[in-house]
């Protein structure tokens, strides 16, 4: 969760989101976004620079219906990945109390019974774009909260792939630790956590392990080519402090040159001891567990289901419950470095969260794993219009459409 929220695994820019120290707008730079995105539960309250990024608006109290034909992107969208993601969500709906609402303050989103009945109809749906599109149009209706025009901000995150070794050496010196059994060790600050207090999964480069902790999970590649997943297992319940902001504040790094490579260059110049001191200024620590990679599925998000590329969405569960479907109209980078992006529509499933993801219309889209996904996610920061999809048998009082 916040499941707030980031080699050539580049990260870093969310921290410049609204920083008065930046000499240019985020959207005018090709630097990637750095978002702490640990798959597990809320983990961040601000961006890595300490800049609030969430939508602070209160929930809107009015809803209205909206038609599929009103979107210029609906007719040409590929719905198959969205169907796959929705099937993942159905696994969790099935274990919920059918008589409870999926969000206690938003009865217009329906009960688990409403969603479970819709999930049961998936048995007859074939895996094709045509059938997926027909399923969503037949079984769901759009609603939108009208008070704030459904406008929000959408960023991106991804799953890094890092090289590791089973034995520590001068290059691969940072342990990837499992969650300690002893609760006392679990709550230590980063500088006091020792590898002798926990089992070790592998050793990676210090900067790679540190940034994998920011993302919350990653694939680890051993020298023999074997690939495993370092999945989120827990954290030490300490606040996140951006080392990038520290370097900027101390005049060691320009806000306009805050990339993973520039941080790594600083670390090489400063040496191991100074690097360790810098990293330890961020007291927050993420623990991992080793997992196999099942059928190339994505990491497990806060909803406890596998994430789907370009469909799974991290959002604020205080406003939007897990499993909710959202039609987003936004811009998305089509290739690395495309910070301008192309206007698209996306049918997303809320299956994750991040502690920097705050507010009813604030989201973080999962781009997938690897270098290219990271380079695309890194330049993703655009406005987005949100419209919610709920089962058609869900009752709510609709406001006139003109109210939006």
Distance CA 321, CA 325 (A): 9
pLDDT at 379 over 60: yes
Pick from 237, 229, 255: nearest CA to 189: 237
Distance CA 386, CA 361 (A): 7
Query: What pLDDT does 66 receive?
Result: 67
Quick one: what percent of the chain has pLDDT higher than 90?
55
Paired sense of beta strands 227-235 and 218-221, if any: antiparallel
Q: Are 208 and 251 in contact (CB under 8 A)?
A: no
Distance CA 133, CA 290 (A): 37
* Local confidence band at 393 (pLDDT 50, 70, 90 cut-offs): confident
* Local confidence band at 41 (pLDDT 50, 70, 90 cut-offs): very low
Tokens of 121: 């109809």
Query: What pLDDT does 321 receive?
Result: 96
State the average pLDDT over residues 21-48. Answer: 33
Pick from 160, 155, 159, 158: nearest CA to 8: 160
Segment 2-11, tens digit of pLDDT: 443 333 333 4
What residue ranges do the domains of the chain occupy?
A: 14-52+158-295, 63-155+304-403
* Local confidence band at 238 (pLDDT 50, 70, 90 cut-offs): very high
Tokens of 29: 């730079």
Segment 266-286, tens digit of pLDDT: 988 998 889 889 999 999 999
pTM of the entire structure?
0.75
Superfamily of domain covering 14-52+158-295: Barwin-like endoglucanases (2.40.240.50)
pLDDT at 88 over 90: yes
Instruction: Name, in order, each residue with C-beta under 8 angstroms of 220's C-beta and a sequence gap of 6 or more.
Output: 161, 162, 163, 164, 176, 201, 202, 204, 227, 228, 229, 230, 290
Same fold, 14-52+158-295 and 63-155+304-403: no
* Local confidence band at 114 (pLDDT 50, 70, 90 cut-offs): very high
Query: What pLDDT does 326 receive?
Result: 96
- Measured from the Cβ of residue 103, the count of other Cβ atoms closer than 10 Å reads 18
Tokens of 209: 């392990």
Query: What pLDDT does 258 receive?
Result: 66
* Local confidence band at 192 (pLDDT 50, 70, 90 cut-offs): very high
Where does 63-155+304-403 sit in CATH, by number? 2.40.40.10
* Local confidence band at 254 (pLDDT 50, 70, 90 cut-offs): confident
Quick one: what percent of the chain has pLDDT higher than 70?
79
Q: Are 233 and 287 in contact (CB under 8 A)?
A: yes
pLDDT, mean over the chain? 81
């Amino acid at each position: 969760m916040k499941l707030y929220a980031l080699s050539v695994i580049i990260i870093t820019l969310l921290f410049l989101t609204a920083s008065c120290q930046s000499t240019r707008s985020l959207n005018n730079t090709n630097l990637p976004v750095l978002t702490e995105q640990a798959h597990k539960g809320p983990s961040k309250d601000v961006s890595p620079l300490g800049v609030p990024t969430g939508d602070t608006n209160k929930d809107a109290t009015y809803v209205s219906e909206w038609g599929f034909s009103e979107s210029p992107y609906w007719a040409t969208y590929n719905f198959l990945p969205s169907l796959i993601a929705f099937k993942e969500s159905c696994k969790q709906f099935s274990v919920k109390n059918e008589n409870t609402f999926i969000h206690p303050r938003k009865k217009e989103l329906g009960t688990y019974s409403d969603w479970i009945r819709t999930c049961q109809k998936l048995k007859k749906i074939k895996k094709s774009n045509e059938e997926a599109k027909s399923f969503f149009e037949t079984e769901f209706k759009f609603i939108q909260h009208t008070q704030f025009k459904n406008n929000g901000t959408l960023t991106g995150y991804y799953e890094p792939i890092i090289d590791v070794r089973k034995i520590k050496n001068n290059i691969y010196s940072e342990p990837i630790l499992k969650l300690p059994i002893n609760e006392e060790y679990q709550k230590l600050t980063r500088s006091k956590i020792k590898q002798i207090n926990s089992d070790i999964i592998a050793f990676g480069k210090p900067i790679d392990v540190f940034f994998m902790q920011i993302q919350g999970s990653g694939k680890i590649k051993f020298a023999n080519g074997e690939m495993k997943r370092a999945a989120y297992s827990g954290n030490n319940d300490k606040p996140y402090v951006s080392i990038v902001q520290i370097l900027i504040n101390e005049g060691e790094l320009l806000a306009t040159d805050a990339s993973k490579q520039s941080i790594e260059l600083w670390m090489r110049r400063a040496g191991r001891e100074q690097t360790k001191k810098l990293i330890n200024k961020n007291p927050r620590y993420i623990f991992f567990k080793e997992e196999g990679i099942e059928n190339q599925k994505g990491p497990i998000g806060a909803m406890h289901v596998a994430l789907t590329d370009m469909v799974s969405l991290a959002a604020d569960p205080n406003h939007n419950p897990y499993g909710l479907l959202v039609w987003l109209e936004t811009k998305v980078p089509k290739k690395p470095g495309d910070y301008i992006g192309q206007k698209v529509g996306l049918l997303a499933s809320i299956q994750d969260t991040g502690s920097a993801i705050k507010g009813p219309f604030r989201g973080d889209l999962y781009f997938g794993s690897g270098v290219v996904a990271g380079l695309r996610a890194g330049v993703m920061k655009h406005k987005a219009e949100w419209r919610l999809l709920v089962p058609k048998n869900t009752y709510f009082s609709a406001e006139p459409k003109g109210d939006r």
